[in-house]
């Protein structure tokens, strides 16, 4: 797990990267520059013909207005707008079921903040069986729009401190952390402009929904404790989602920048800036025994990935008790990277499954029609001159076909770039070597490092 509490300041690293490649022109260095480059254009807001509902704000950090928030949405439902003014604080101290919504908007310029009473929330939060997820609240219904320049604050520091050293996927993990925003059975849901801040766990989890859009959203998770960094704070996770759009998003967290899981169809991501993340990930998929899962028809383009683990990533489970299915028709296009481990990574043995178990029980997921196109930048040198690694399942019934590289120009600070590939049928469109070949072993041994790209001032 890797994270960074500070986003890149390009001026601080220009000298360090000069020998590896030029920084793209006009890439924002902080939230203010992101907003300047991609201005949030307010929707109708409080104007128009919608009726406006307001609620009282919290007097202090312990003044719970959860009941008022619920009542406000009930009054705004069926054609109204709940208005949360700028510089107002709304403390939520108990779980809210908001799955009744129909044609409602939230004009969100204030700050909504959850209490950090970790024993209370672990005992009282909503639960979902997928990876033992907890949720502060749950939204659902149809024609829901959240828009504004406000903050949704998960108050995550205490959660990160108490979770330090644990793993979310460990079977014996009993310390469960709530997801910041959860929606289920939602049709035509939009979030625009909001700053989602310091989630205890995943930032967004959307389940069994269609027509989902996140636009001009800022997502950060920053710790004040170097020994307890944000963990598992993915920007986006999903189950059973159709027609998903993500556009112009700034992400500085401690896990996947983007990560739809089982049964995602028709996904389009355009323009994301990711720092300290695990990459733009498909999955993981195939985790649960006997479960059929898939990801299909995905385009992710115009992405900047810095100071993280991987770039474009596909991850599937192996082992004796896993599921089956496929990942098909996925395009990663126009990726620029700096100081990541592998710029492209296909992992068919996800999450600490040892090599012997993976060989005995290989992944049952088909991987087909994947394109990595227009990649540039440089890696961290952790894996030497290897800049990408694609490992297909050895299962004779798992197809791994038509994996293509096109205009792939990622370099390594350690020497001439090498692409590792194992078990792929057909050509990649570029040279590659097996990871256990003489060339592959030499590439992995030729390690080096580059400076972490950091700023001395937190830009938000």
Residue 87 to residue 107: CA distance in whole angstroms: 13
- CB of 278 within 8 A of CB of 231? no
Question: How far, in whole angstroms, is CA 429 from its chain's centroid?
Answer: 29
Question: How far, in whole angstroms, is CA 389 from its chain's centroid?
Answer: 21
**Residue 318: which of 422, 401, 398, 389 has the closest Cα?**
398
State the Cα angle at 117 between 115 and 123, rounded to 5°.
Answer: 115
The two beta strands, 80-84 and 51-54, are parallel
CA atoms within 13 A on the CB side of 379: 33
State the Cα angle at 261 between 259 and 267, rounded to 5°.
Answer: 70
Q: Is 195 a catalytic residue?
A: no
Spatial CB neighbours of 38, under 8 Å, sequence gap ≥ 6: 28, 216, 248, 271
Give me the phi and psi of 36, to 5 degrees please: -65, -40
Residue 20 to residue 387: CA distance in whole angstroms: 13
Catalytic residue among 107, 147, 195, 278: 278
User: Three-state SS for 443?
Assistant: helix
- CB of 195 within 8 A of CB of 111? no
Residue-by-residue DSSP string for 384-410? TTEEEEEE----TTS-EEEEEEEEEEE
- CB of 184 within 8 A of CB of 209? yes
- CB of 108 within 8 A of CB of 194? yes
Residue-by-residue DSSP string for 111-136? EEEE---HHHHHHHSEEETGGGEEES
Question: How far, in whole angstroms, is CA 428 from its chain's centroid?
Answer: 27
Catalytic residue among 109, 255, 256, 422: 255
Query: Residue 444's CB: how many other CB atoms inside 10 A?
Result: 18
Distances (CA, A) of 151 to 111, 116, 198, 199, 291: 5, 16, 10, 12, 37
- CB of 208 within 8 A of CB of 183? no
Residue 159 to residue 308: CA distance in whole angstroms: 22
The two beta strands, 133-135 and 89-92, are unpaired
Q: Is 278 a catalytic residue?
A: yes
Q: Which residues are catalytic?
A: 255, 278
């Amino acid at each position: 797990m890797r994270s960074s509490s500070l986003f890149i300041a390009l001026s601080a690293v220009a000298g360090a990267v000069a020998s590896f490649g030029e920084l793209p022109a006009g890439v924002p260095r902080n939230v203010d520059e992101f907003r300047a480059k991609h201005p949030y254009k307010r929707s109708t807001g409080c104007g128009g013909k919608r009726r406006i509902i307001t609620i009282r704000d919290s007097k202090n950090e312990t003044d719970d207005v959860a009941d008022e928030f619920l009542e406000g949405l009930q009054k705004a439902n069926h054609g109204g707008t709940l208005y949360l003014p700028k510089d107002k604080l709304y403390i939520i101290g108990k779980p809210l079921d908001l799955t009744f919504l129909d044609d409602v908007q939230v004009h969100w310029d204030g700050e909504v903040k959850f209490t950090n009473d970790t024993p209370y929330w672990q005992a009282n939060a909503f639960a979902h069986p997928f990876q033992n997820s907890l949720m502060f609240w749950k939204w659902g219904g149809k024609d829901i729009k959240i828009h504004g320049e406000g903050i949704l604050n998960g108050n995550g520091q205490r959660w990160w401190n108490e979770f330090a050293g644990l793993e979310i996927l460990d079977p014996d993990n009993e310390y469960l952390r709530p997801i910041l925003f959860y929606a289920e059975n939602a049709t035509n849901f939009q979030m625009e402009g909001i700053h989602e801040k310091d989630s205890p766990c995943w930032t967004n989890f959307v389940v069994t929904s269609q027509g989902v859009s996140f636009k001009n959203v800022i997502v950060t998770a920053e710790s004040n404790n170097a020994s307890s960094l944000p963990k598992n704070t993915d920007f986006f996770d999903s189950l059973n989602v159709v027609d998903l759009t993500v556009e112009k998003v700034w992400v500085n967290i401690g896990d996947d920048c983007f990560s739809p899981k089982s049964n995602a169809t028709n996904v389009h991501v355009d323009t994301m800036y990711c720092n300290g993340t695990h990459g733009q990930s498909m999955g993981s998929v195939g985790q649960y025994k006997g479960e059929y899962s898939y990801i299909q028809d995905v385009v992710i383009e115009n992405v900047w990935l810095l100071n993280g683990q991987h770039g474009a990533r596909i991850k599937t489970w192996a082992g004796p008790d896993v599921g089956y299915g496929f990942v098909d028709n996925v395009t990663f296009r126009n990726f620029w990277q700096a100081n990541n481990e592998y710029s492209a990574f296909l992992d068919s043995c996800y999450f600490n499954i040892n090599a012997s178990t993976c060989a005995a029980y290989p992944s049952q997921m088909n991987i087909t029609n994947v394109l990595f196109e227009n990649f540039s930048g440089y890696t961290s040198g952790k894996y030497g001159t290897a800049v990408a690694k694609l490992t297909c399942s050895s299962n004779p019934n798992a197809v791994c076909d038509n994996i293509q590289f096109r205009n792939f120009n990622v370099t390594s600070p350690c020497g001439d770039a090498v692409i590792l590939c194992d078990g792929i049928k057909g050509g990649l469109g570029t040279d590659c070597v097996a990871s256990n070949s003489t060339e592959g072993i030499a590439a992995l041994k030729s390690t080096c490092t580059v400076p972490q790209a950091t700023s001395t001032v937190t830009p938000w």
